């Protein structure tokens, strides 16, 4: 059956060994985009066969992160589906049966070598590898009589099952991004597929068996798994599944922002960006690692940013909805070369998406920030908060930046910027501001359109310096000489509050010497 006729079924197969890394999120995203584009299915499989590395909370974290980002799952532990269970630790019987199939077919064998015996061999033979050149000198079912093997097993001796790899073969991996990669089977060792000690398969066996049974059509995963692919090809063949083996897609690495080497958590700590989607509380060490969500990123800004790390739509379009990403995604435009993790670009995406958010939604996100900053959000109407946020959103990368930028809309100045006072508050300014109060007092319509011409005309009639007067005005209202258009500010603050602030300024600002 050719790949094109086949129903697209992809899987994201994380191991719950800690928080999902941002590279894993990108892998999940590309799987999701590919599935949706082809009207296929997205599977979430939990690969928890390595009991040593299992971390409590990691599976919930994965679910929560994917849900936050809008990466939908069709089949999985929580969603169910026709090929479950979707958690490998619940599939022991299936793996046991498949290990037996390989043993019966002579494609795998049982090995009793203890860790000490293996260490001794490594010391004896330089570059020791358990393979065709050494296996006949080891303690395994190829070198021992069947009765002895059966007896050891009956006695409860620990053993592993190893894959028997024939030397002298060219193994070809066809990767839809990289093309054909061929290696010699001689370089592969007889990989452990199953361990009797915990009655669990290793990653390789479980991964292959599940991809086959779950009818996975494309294995889309990180480049770090490319070295496992030849072994996987041989396993499909050993099971007789070569015809329906999934196509491989190994995604480019995420590189450090300066491009040298693989992105690590340390880069994030060093340069100040999260490498995890959500904040992670390490259950053992108690350490907290920052997450995109808690750092104030909008989920779709993260999705859009990640989508372009290793793929491009073929033109310079950057801002794309999830549906546009689904429509445009293509493996042909995925790169082989690693993608630099340009985290500043991530901020730009967040800034851009904040501009597109309706002011009411921005206000809803801002309210908890206000409360956390000691500004009682319930003292202001939703409309007021929305207008204040809307006026300042062009200046922010994160919702939390509004706390500083928009503070003056909620709290009258408690102090005045010293530099601005020095520059703008000359000896005659208190009197001029007093006159301004009279002008404003007589004005009932405080809209920007109505007030602005009145004030400007007064300045002109009096022959005052426009910049000096407007900046002094701003200083009393805002506390410093920056912010949005002055008459937009006064429109929102209203007459009473504006006058109160000017009068407080006249009283409290000490003219510069």
Query: Which residues contact ligand GLU by CB under 6 A?
Result: 13-15, 47, 207, 221, 225
Residues 6+ apart with CB under 8 A from 11: 31, 42, 43, 44, 45, 210, 211, 214, 216, 219
* Closest CB 233 distance from ligand GLU, rounded Å: 13
Listed in sequence order, the DSSP H helices in 105-228 are 115-124, 146-154, 203-213
Give 221 or 501: the residue with its C-beta nearer to ligand GLU. 221
- Give the tokens for residue 187: 């370089």
Q: What are phi and psi of 38, to 5 degrees?
A: -95, 10
Min dist CB 47 to ligand GLU, Å, is 4
- Positive/negative CA dihedral, 73, 76, 78, 81: positive
* Closer residue to ligand GLU, CB minimum distance, 16 or 390: 16
Strands 280-281 and 288-289: antiparallel
CB 22, min distance to ligand GLU, A: 14
The CB-based long-range contact list for 460-464 (8 Å cut-off, 24+ gap) reads 462/435, 464/432
Q: In what order do the strands lie in the sheet with 9-12?
A: 75-76, 41-44, 9-12, 218-222, 247-251, 170-175, 179-184
Q: Are 196 and 158 in contact (CB under 8 A)?
A: yes
Separation CA 58–CA 76 (nearest Å)? 15
Least CB distance from residue 347 to ligand GLU, whole Å?
28
204 vs 293, beta carbon nearer ligand GLU: 204
| 143/109 Cα distance (integer angstroms) | 10
By C-beta, is 9 or 221 nearer to ligand GLU? Answer: 221
> Minimum Å distance from CB 263 to ligand GLU?
15
Mention every residue, 6+ apart, whose C-beta is less than 8 A from residue 449.
Answer: none
- Enumerate the β-bridge partners of residue 281: 288
DSSP structural state of residue 380: S
Q: Whose Cβ is closer to ligand GLU: residue 22's or residue 459's?
A: 22
Q: Which is nearer to ligand GLU, 226 or 357 (CB)?
A: 226
Active site residues: 265
DSSP secondary structure code for residue 276 in this structure:
B
Tokens 């000690």 correspond to 197
Show the beta-strand stretches assigned E in 266-370.
280-281, 288-289, 339-340
How many CA atoms are closer than 13 Å to the CA of 57, on its beta-carbon side?
10
């Amino acid at each position: 059956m050719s790949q094109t006729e086949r129903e697209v079924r992809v899987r994201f197969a994380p191991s719950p060994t800690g928080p999902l890394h941002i590279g894993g999120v990108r892998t999940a995203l590309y799987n999701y985009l590919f599935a949706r584009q082809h009207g296929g299915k997205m599977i979430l499989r939990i690969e928890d066969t390595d009991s040593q590395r299992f971390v409590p909370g990691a599976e919930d974290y994965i679910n929560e992160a994917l849900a936050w980002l809008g990466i939908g799952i069709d089949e999985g532990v929580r969603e169910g589906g026709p090929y479950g269970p979707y958690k490998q630790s619940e599939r022991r019987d299936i793996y046991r049966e498949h290990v037996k199939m390989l043993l019966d077919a002579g494609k795998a064998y049982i090995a009793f070598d203890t860790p000490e015996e293996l260490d001794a061999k490594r010391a004896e033979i330089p570059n020791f590898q358990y393979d065709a050149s050494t296996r006949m000198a080891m303690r395994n079912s190829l070198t021992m009589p069947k009765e002895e093997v059966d007896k050891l097993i009956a006695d409860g001796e620990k053993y592993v099952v190893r894959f028997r790899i024939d030397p002298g073969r060219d193994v070809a991996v066809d990767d839809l991004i990289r093309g054909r990669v061929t290696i010699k089977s001689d370089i592969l060792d007889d990989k452990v597929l199953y361990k009797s000690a915990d009655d669990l398969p290793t990653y390789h066996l479980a991964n292959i068996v599940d991809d086959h049974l779950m009818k996975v059509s494309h294995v889309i995963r990180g480049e770090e798994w490319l070295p496992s692919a030849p072994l996987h090809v041989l396993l499909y063949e050993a099971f007789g599944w070569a015809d329906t083996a999934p196509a491989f897609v190994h995604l480019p690495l995420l590189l450090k922002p300066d491009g040298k080497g693989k992105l690590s958590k340390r880069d994030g700590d060093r340069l100040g960006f999260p490498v995890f989607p959500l904040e992670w509380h390490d259950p053992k060490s108690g350490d907290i690692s920052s997450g995109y969500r808690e750092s104030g990123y909008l989920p779709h800004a993260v999705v859009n940013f990640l989508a372009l790390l290793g793929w491009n739509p073929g033109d310079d379009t950057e801002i794309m909805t999830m549906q546009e990403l689904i429509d445009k995604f293509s493996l042909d435009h995925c790169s082989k070369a690693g993608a630099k993790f340009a985290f500043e670009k991530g901020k730009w995406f967040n800034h851009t998406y904040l501009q597109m958010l309706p002011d009411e939604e921005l206000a809803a996100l801002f309210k908890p920030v206000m409360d956390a900053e000691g500004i009682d959000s319930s003292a202001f109407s939703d409309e007021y908060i929305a207008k204040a946020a809307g006026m300042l959103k062009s200046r922010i990368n994160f919702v939390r930046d509004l706390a500083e930028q928009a503070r003056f809309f909620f709290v009258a100045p408690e102090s005045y910027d010293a530099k601005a006072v020095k520059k703008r508050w000359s000896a005659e300014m208190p009197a001029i501001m007093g006159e301004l109060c009279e002008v404003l007092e007589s004005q009932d319509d405080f809209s920007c359109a109505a007030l602005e011409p009145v004030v400007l005309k007064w300045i002109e009639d009096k022959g005052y310096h426009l910049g000096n007067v407007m900046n002094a005005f701003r200083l009393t209202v805002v506390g410093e000489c920056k912010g949005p258009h002055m008459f937009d500010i006064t429109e929102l603050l209203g007459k009473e509050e504006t006058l109160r602030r000017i009068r407080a300024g006249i009283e409290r600002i000490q003219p510069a010497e």
